[in-house]
Amino acid sequence: MRSTGQDQAKKLDIWQKLHLDLPLLLGLLSLMTLGLFVVYSAGGQDFDLVVRQGVRLGVALLVMFIVAQIPPQVYFKWAVPTFVIGLGLLVAVLLVGTVGKGAQRWLNLGFMQFQPSEVMKLIVPITIAWFISQHDLPAKLGNIVIAFILVLIPTLLIAKQPDLGTSLLIASSGIFVIFLAGASWKLIGTCVGLASAFTPILWMFLMKDYQKQRVLTFLDPEKDPLGSGYHIIQSKIAIGSGGLYGKGWLQGTQSQLEFLPERHTDFIFSVFSEEFGLVGVTALLLVYLAIVMRGLWIAVNAQEAFTKLLAGSITLTFFVYVFVNIGMVSGLLPVVGVPLPLVSYGGTSMVTLMAGFGILMAIGTHRRFNAQ
């Protein structure tokens, strides 16, 4: 008769052979399940919306599973070709891309609309991790400068579409790799100073009028409470009215009476806060924290510099997703259109996010599997 310890070891071995990290998978499934309930409430109790979200979650999970089967060495080998192809696609978007909602972000492939900036969320950190890992660590100044340039090129191309939210996420994914590679605080401070000096140029020549308006609204939303400041004011009212325990599922007045804009996408955190209160928000943040900690654990235990840097960047970029969305709807950051990961209703961004978690699982499980 087998012991309990042997049974547990066999179960763990099965998950490793499937290249799935069980603690990380459980955290992701918890968020997805919770997200379906919140989408139902935020979407006006539209069950069809929940079904569509469920289908998208299923596709995202399938993509994660497929990506997890690919050894990290493959990502290392194809880093440069995919980066070059990605840049070519971004240029093609600016030249012949499809325009929608005032932005030129998609390529019409005939059978579907393809958004190259989404795949760059993964290609950029893979490429920067590949480049940095080719040299001794901590990274020297010259290599860091080259890495910054590699990050800057796709960031500017995407900002030109314009898509400020995605460009900032892509920039952060690459910068995290550089930071994890051992960039000194002095160098980081210098870069921050240069970025601050660049801000007037960004404001005067690169930012669109609606982007400037978002910043002005962030600084003083009460200046135009029925216009540009209406959304963020209603969002803060919803968050605050939830109190300690919330009003209950499907009982939020701001969301059910449609005071909140984009309540099932960008502002879904406001709906959740109103219905579940501080206790619910704390529980949600703990789930996000558990996922981030597991991702960092995988990064720390990775055996090679490339996989360490890549896993760390993917995990910290996921943290930025969460931080930016919550900060945005709470009035702590300007509105940039970043969804709440795995809770907001969405499609393409969710698939990209889950593909990133597939890479994380590949780094963790292939390492352990190959080490046996």
* Structural domains counted in the chain: 2
State whether 201 and 297 are in the same domain: no
Q: Is residue 114 part of a domain?
A: yes
Helix (H, G, I), strand (E, B) or coil at 216: helix
Q: Is residue 212 part of a domain?
A: no
State whether 333 and 260 are in the same domain: yes
Q: What is the model's pLDDT at position 102? A: 66
What is the DSSP secondary-structure string of 255-298? HHTT-STTTTTTTHHHHHHHHHHHHHHHHHHHHHHHHHHHHHHH
State whether 81 and 187 are in the same domain: yes
Q: Is residue 216 part of a domain?
A: no
**Considering only CA atoms, which of 48, 116, 124, 38 is closest in space to residue 342?**
38
Q: Is residue 229 part of a domain?
A: yes
Q: Is residue 187 part of a domain?
A: yes
The count of other CB atoms within 10 Å of the CB of residue 160 is 14
Burial 58-97 (b: 16+ CB within 10 A, else e): eebbebbbebbeeebeebbebbeebbeebbebbeebeeeb
> Do residues 294 and 27 lie in contact, with contact meaning Cβ atoms separated by under 8 Å?
yes
State whether 178 and 239 are in the same domain: no
Q: Is residue 335 part of a domain?
A: yes
If phi over 0 gives left and psi between -120 and 50 gives alpha, with beta otherwise, what is residue 135?
beta
State whether 62 and 79 are in the same domain: no
Distances (CA, A) of 262 to 258, 271, 323, 335, 338: 9, 10, 18, 12, 12
Q: What is the model's pLDDT at position 371? A: 39
**Considering only CA atoms, which of 292, 290, 246 is closest in space to residue 270?**
246
| Reported pTM | 0.89
Of 172, 207, 242, which closes a domain?
A: 207
State whether 136 and 89 are in the same domain: yes
Mean pLDDT by 10 residues, the chain (372 residues): 56 77 94 93 87 92 94 93 94 84 74 82 95 86 88 89 84 91 75 74 70 72 69 86 88 79 84 93 96 95 92 95 91 83 85 94 73 38
Q: What is the largest CA-CA distance in the chain?
A: 75
> Do residues 69 and 120 lie in contact, with contact meaning Cβ atoms separated by under 8 Å?
no
DSSP secondary structure code for residue 311 in this structure? H
State whether 113 and 234 are in the same domain: no
Domain that holds residue 272: 32-69+223-364
Q: Which helix (H) or strand (E) holds 192?
A: helix 185-201
Q: Is residue 5 part of a domain?
A: no
State whether 135 and 46 are in the same domain: no
State whether 126 and 58 are in the same domain: no
Of 151, 180, 207, which closes a domain?
A: 207
Tokens at 72, concatenated: 């990290």
Q: Is residue 9 part of a domain?
A: no
Q: What is the model's pLDDT at position 241? A: 87
Of 138, 173, 207, which closes a domain?
A: 207
Q: What is the model's pLDDT at position 8? A: 58
Q: What is the model's pLDDT at position 60? A: 93
State whether 156 and 167 are in the same domain: yes
State whether 184 and 283 are in the same domain: no
State whether 51 and 80 are in the same domain: no
Look-up of token digits 């400041």: 229
